[in-house]
Amino acid sequence: MSEFAEEIVSDAAERMDRAVEHAQGLFGSVRTGRATPALVEKLRVDYYGAEVPLQQLAGFNVPEARVLMIQPYDVASLPAIEKAVQASDLGINPGNDGDKIRLVFPPLTEERRRDLVKVVRKQAEDGKIAIRNLRRSARQDLEAMEKDKEISSDELDRFEKELDRHTQARVESIDAALKAKEAELLEV
């Protein structure tokens, strides 16, 4: 029966990895002083009545550090893409030249940088909470197995320690990504 307990721990570890990837993806969507496609590729665009991610409708190009070009695959989607960018929380007015959209990112003010650091810290904390919730859930499953006499208390201790190691490693990787993102945001 300890195979089932091992499966619980490995499943929790995989889910924790996905939580870390999700948090890092959120970090990528927070604007720094540079233009990057990650800022807009997940924007939802109303395309012929369906909400579609922008990355499915257009290609991206970064000709300069603070300029992002959006090249739609279908020129007819240009107004919808422009409208989605205007409605987003980027705070940038898109420039439309008939076949592509140009986004020029102004330099961030010190106050805006500090606000973005707060946003990133909140995202990191949410990721850590998700990891701890996964640990708690797996721990409850393991404790139920011990209660049903499917594993011994020694095995329970061993699996819980392994679960704690996985949790600690994932939390540390979120902290490292947070530190890197903060440094990137505060860099002038």
Q: What is the DSSP letter of 56?
A: G
Q: Do 138 and 124 have their domain in common?
A: yes
* Same-domain pairing of 67 and 95: yes
Phi, psi of 51 (to 5 degrees): -80, 115
81 shares a domain with 98: yes
Do 116 and 180 lie in a common domain?
yes
Torsions phi, psi of 15, nearest 5? -65, -35
What residues does 101 pair with on adjacent strands? 70, 96
Q: What pLDDT score does 98 carry?
A: 84
Amino acid 1: pLDDT? 54
Structure-token pair, residue 1? 């029966």
The count of domains in the chain is 2
Domain identity same for 125 and 180: yes
Grouped pLDDT means (10 residues each) for the chain, 188 residues: 85 95 85 77 87 90 88 90 85 85 85 87 95 96 92 92 95 95 83
Q: Would the pTM of this model clear 0.75, i.e. be above it?
A: no
pLDDT at residue 14, as a whole number: 96
Give the range of the structural domain holding residue 144, as residue numbers without chain letter.
Answer: 2-28+109-186
Determine phi and psi for 149, rounding to 5 degrees. 65, 30
> If DSSP codes are grouped into helix, strand and coil, which group holds residue 142?
helix
C-alpha span between 81 and 87 (Å, rounded): 10
Strands of 101-104's sheet in order across: 58-64, 67-72, 101-104, 95-96
State whether 98 and 115 are in the same domain: no
